[in-house]
Structures are given as C-alpha cells and as structure tokens.
Structure 1
Amino acid sequence: MSKGWSIYVILIVAANILGAAWLLWWTSRPPKDGKHTETTGHVWDGDIREYNKPLPRWWINLFYITIVFAIGYLIWFPGLGGFAGTAGWTSAGEHDRAKSEADARLAEAFSRFDGMGIDEIARDEQAVGFGARIFANTCAQCHGADGRGARGFPNLTDADWQWGGSPEQILTTVLHGRQAAMPALGAAMGGEVGISEVAAYVQSLSGLRADPALAGAGRARFAGVCAACHGADGRGNEALGAPNLTDGVWLYGGDFETIREGVIAGRNGMMPAHLPILGETRSRLVAAYVWSISDAARREAGGSAAAGGESVR
C-alpha cells in the first residue's frame, strides 16, 4: 500500500471512531434546561406516541469501552493503513503457521508409508482411504470423482494404460507427469486423401467399420510413418507413450473425423508432475489408490497384478 493510500485509510478509520464517540456524547448529553422531553412529538394512528428517553448510563459506558477496545485493537493488530501493528501479526504468517502445523500432522500420519511399495500400500485399507481423499482433492478435476476420465483424460479404472499400468509405472506418472507427443502428420500423409486413407486404416485396426478401399490404401502410409511409434501391428509402445490402436479404447474418440483431426493436428495432452505438489509419500498413496481401482479390471483382462495392461487413448 502506498503512503498516500495508507494516510487516507488512517483518516477514514479515525473519522469513524471520533464520529461514533461524538455521536454518543451528543445524543446522551442532558438538555440545557435540565428537563427531558417526554415524547418526540411523533404520533401514529391517533394514540401511538414515540417516547424520547435517554439510554441507560451502563449502556453508554459500555459503548465507550468498545471504542477504547477498538483503538487498542488497531494499535495491536494491523488495520490503520500501512501500519503493521505492534504484535507483528499478518494473515500470511497465520496461514504459514497453520499450514506448518497441518503438514506436521499429515507427515506424522503418512510417515509409515515412506518408501513403501505401491502394491504393498494398496493392501492397507487406511492407506487406500488416504489416497482416495488425495485423489479427490488433486486428481478428480481431470479424471473425475470416480476416476473414469473424460474426453482427453484417461479412464483409470480399466486395464488399458498408455504408459504402463504396473505399480512403479503409475508412481512414475504421478511423480514426474507425462507429456504426449503425437506430431501433426497432415503434410507427411500427402494431403487430404492420404489423411483419410490412414484414418480409415486406423479404424480398421480396432475392428471399427471403415471404407475398405481407403483402409487398404492407408496401410502403406501407416507402415511408412505411424509404425515408427505405434508398431507395425499398431499395438503401440509404452516406452514412448504410443497408444495401442487395435483395441476399443479411445481417449479422444474413434470416429473417422476425430481420428483425422488427430492425424492433422497431433495430440499433446499433458499429465503434470505431482512430486512438487504432493511430495513423495502422498504421491505414493495416490498412486496406490489408482492402482487399486484398476487392479480388478487388470485381473479380469488377464494381466498379472504387477504387469501393465494395454494402452489408453
């Protein structure tokens, strides 16, 4: 706050305090002739009169005490413009102290999970509960309260994983984030016809209905450009984060126009790193929760409890 604004605020506060004190004194002083008028002279409905009686002395004195208290409060705490107050209190300092105390309590509650394996944490009911609450506060904004995701945000409750679904792979994702890198390939496909051909071929890989002539022509284009990341069979590459194109899971949608859009403009979804946000142990807890909600689907799909499933798109 500038010096000018500080002086302005101080003058406003002082005027309010002095005005309240003066108004209290002026309205409670005795009349000059020593006699109080019985009524104000206001009459309603013929016989309802407004009386003019002085306030009790105890009430007036209590009001004066509140004015003195207000002055003392403004000296002790900040409230007069840029004056910091003699106590040195600030809202930021209060927040930092409260946060420090809360962090200490959380650290004590979470300390027994330090360095513990994700699958081991997932067997602890209390730990999974901790992870669920952290997920709700931090991850649900993108992945949904139930973890089922949305367009552009992966479903975390199935057995399909773009970067791998093992406990350590999930932990790595939570700690360090993921950055998708599907480049724009419209020019590499030779224009509109080539884009349509490869889009139709990608549809055919997952069993979707596609134009057979376009799909047949797109096979060679896919092998020459897309197979470098997605593999010759289109099953993807977890090390690169290249999705499996042969299953029925689509992150952005599997219709013809959406696939064309991905080929033309690329995809650059980002999962932010949560180590700076949550720290190591809380990241482990939320990773264990995520692994736990997808474990049933993983086992149902035939994968082992420690191995990742297929890829998410």
Structure 2
Amino acid sequence: MSDFLSSGWSTYIALVALLGIFWCIWLLFSQRKVKVVHTPDGEVADTGHVWDGDLRELNNPLPRWWMWMFLFSCIFGLVYLVLFPGLGSFPGIMGYSTRGSLMQSMETSNEELKPVMSKYVNMDIVDVAADPKALEMGQRLFLNSCAQCHGSDAGGAKGFPNLADGDWLYGGSPENIKATITYGRGGAMPAFGAVLTSAQIKDVANYIRSLSGLPVDDLKAARGAEVFKTYCVACHGADAKGNIVIGAPNLTDKTWLYGSSENTITETLLKGRNGVMPAQDKVLSPEKIQLLTAYVWSLSNNKPSQSKQ
C-alpha cells in the first residue's frame, strides 16, 4: 500500500473487494434459477462434454451443502472486512493492525527478557563487551535487527558500512555507537550536478582519488584541488579527513562505502548520497540496546580508528 497513499486508491481497493464478494453471491443465486434439463427418457441431460467415449458431464444442480458453504464464505468475508483491515484504509472496528500486533509482541518480549538483561544496563559498555554471555546475547540481537543491512558478519555491503573494520563515520566510541543505534543517523551528501560543470566534477573525482593514493590524471587532480577548497572543505575539512559530528567521511583513507572508481565518485558528486540508519529506540528496549552496543563495539575495539566513507 506504500505506493497507493491517496484516498482515491483506498476507495478503489475497497470497491473492488466488496464488488468481488457481492458478484460471487449474485452468481450463486443466479445459478439456482437454472432448470435442470432432462432427456426424453427422463435422464439428466449432459453438457455435451464427453471423455473416453462414455464419461459425460451432466447438467446437475449444485449440491445444497456446497451452496451453503459458498454463501457462508462470502458472508464470512464481509464480516471480516468490517472487523479487520482490508477495505482500503478502513482500519476495521476491532482496531487490529499487524504493526500494533508486532509492537505488542515486542513489548511482551522485552518485559520477559528484562530480568535477564537488566544487570547490564548500568554497566560500562566495555565491561559488558568483556562478558561472553552478554556478547552472545548481543550477537543474537545483531542477527535479528542489523544483519539485514550490515550482513551476518557485520562486513557491510555497498552503501552499508562495515562495522568490523574500525572505520567510523560518526565515531567508534561506545557512546557514539550507542547514540547511533538509539537515535539513528541521517547522512546526506549534496548533489553538485547543478552547481559544478561536468569537467569540474571529473577534476574533483580525480583529486579525491589522489587523496588515498589511487591512480589519477595529475592535471585534473590539481584543478580539482581548487574546486575542493571551495565546495567540499566545509564538511570534509581542509585536510579532507572528515567530521564525525556530521558524519562527513574521511577521504584520505582506503575505506569506501560506495566504491572508489572514478565513475562511482563522479556519480556521488553528480547525484549526491542519502544514507539512513533507522533509530531503534522504539523497537529495542534500553537493555537490548546496551547489549547490542557492546557487541558492535567489540567487533572493532582493537582496530585503528579511521573514518567510514
């Protein structure tokens, strides 16, 4: 339904559902009026369909038990659509929703697990990460809540950060990781397609590649450095090492979120990038967030701190 948000679509879907049920009821009763045709010798006439020489399809009326079951199914469908969602945006008089059911189930789960996890809430995250039992619970939480984007090994994918390499857009301290998990992040790289010429964008792409030692056109890179000073230093800094406060990546390391090819960097400059890390404070309890933070921190706590790109 996410692509059909207007009230017109809601009305259309409701009408299709109702008309479909009422048409079935009409069809059922219309067939009751059809008279059975008999042959001169008193047998029920067939429909003209014959198989294997003598297997005929007779024109018998529908069995009463089948007709009542069919009618009951239609009535059941109408009652269901009144009680539960199904008629477009009408929520049903019972007020049920799959989202509400999921949230209730999660609240129940949180309450049941609270006694097991509560002792970790007030502990230092580094100490939690040193507890094997806590890490095991944190890993399970990660597989349930985070692996869809970051992978079961936390290695990430194009557009999804690797959480095990020690490079962080918003900082890799326990406090920063917890804030990211709790409140989410919304990273935005603005598009420069309407600001810079295609030649300037290629120049900047070459300059950015040169910062991490990749092969470039030196002339383009030199011109790109001047463009970079005008348009990019506000976020990435004069040294291009980024800013964890706003999630601006370090452009001088060898870690790339979308790729390091000239075409990929050019695409980023032309169209921009928008990355969203969803907030988990409405989904996970404080106890689960604490355990999840400890697990994620433990994945790279012994690795050099750089900045994700």
Alignment TM-score > 0.5, same fold = yes
How many Å separate the matches in 2 of 1:96 and 1:172?
Answer: 22
2:88 match:
none
Aligned to 1:312: 308
Counterpart of 2:205? 199
Contact 1:147 1:157 in 2 (8 A): yes
TM normalised by structure 2 equals 0.67
Residue matched to 2:282: 276
1:253 aligns with 2:259: yes
Listed one character per residue, the Cα deviations across residues 255-278 of structure 1 (whole Å, up to 9, x for unaligned) are 000000000111101101011111
What is the match of residue 249 of structure 2? 243
CA distance in 1 between counterparts of 2:234 and 2:269 reads: 14
2:102 is aligned with 1:106: no
Say whether the 8 Å CA contact 1:115–1:281 is kept in structure 2. no
Whole-Å separation in 2 of the counterparts to 1:98 and 1:239: 36
Question: How far has the Cα of 1:91 moved from its partner?
Answer: 12
Q: Distance in 2 between matches of 1:228 and 1:104?
A: 46
**Unaligned runs of at least 5 residues, structure 2:** 1-16, 26-75, 84-95
Deviations 1:220-266 (A, max 9, x none): 00011101110111111111110000000000000000000000111
Aligned pair partner of 2:164 in 151, 157, 160 = 157
Within 1, Cα distance between the matches of 2:127 and 2:274? 33
Alignment of 1:217-228 (within 5 A): 217-228=223-234
- Structure 1: which 5+ residue stretches go unaligned? 10-78, 85-89, 302-308
State the one-letter code of the partner of 2:244: E
* Percent identity of paired positions between Structure 1 and Structure 2: 43
- Partners in 1 of 2:103 and 2:307 — Cα distance? 42
Question: Could you report, residue by residue, the CA deviation over 1:111-140 in whole angstroms, capped at 9, with x for unpaired residues?
Answer: 111233221211111111111000000100
8 A contact 2:106–2:283 mirrored in 1: no
Rounded to whole Å, the distance in 1 between the matches of 2:276 and 2:104 is: 34
> How much does 1:192 deviate?
0.5
CA 1:274–1:96: 2 relative to 1, 3 Å: closer
**Alpha-carbon distance change, 80 to 264 in structure 1, aligned in 2, over 3 angstroms:** closer
Q: Indicate which of 140, 145, 149 corresponds to 2:152.
A: 145
Match of 2:191 among 158, 168, 184: 184
Matched, 1:293 2:289: no
Measure the CA separation in 2 of the matches of 1:237 and 1:166: 14
TM-score, scaled to structure 1: 0.66
Asked if the contact 1:118–1:287 (Cα under 8 Å) also holds between the matched residues in 2, the reply is yes
Q: Given the superposition, is the C-alpha separation of residues 247 and 127 from structure 1 closer, same or farther in structure 2, using an over 3 Å criterion?
A: same
After superposition, the Cα gap between the structure-2 partners of 1:292 and 1:230, relative to the gap in structure 1 and judged at 3 Å, is same
Letter in 1 for 2:138: G
Secondary structure in structure 1 of the residue aligned to 2:188:
coil
1:188 shift after superposition: 2.6
Structure 1 vs Structure 2 CA RMSD: 3.0
Report the number of matched residues: 228
Whether the 8 Å CA contact 2:110–2:285 is kept in 1: the answer is no
Shifted more, 90-99 versus 222-231: the winner is 90-99
Q: Aligned pair in 2 of structure 1 residues 95, 261: CA closer, same or farther (>3 Å)?
A: closer
**Secondary structure of residue in 1 paired with 2:242:** coil
Which residue matches 1:168? Answer: 175
Aligned to 1:209: 215
Q: 1:269 aligns to what SS in structure 2?
A: strand
Amino acid at match of 1:292: S
Displacement of 1:96 in angstroms is 8.7
Letter in 2 for 1:141: Q
Please report how far the alpha carbon of residue 182 of structure 1 lies from its aligned counterpart in structure 2 after TM superposition: 0.7
The structural deviation recorded for 1:102 is 3.6
Tell me the distance in 2 between the aligned counterparts of 1:168 and 1:159: 15
Separation of aligned partners in 1, 2:210 and 2:145: 37
Offset of residue 109 of structure 1: 1.0
Structure 1 runs of 4+ with >3 Å offset: 79-84, 90-103
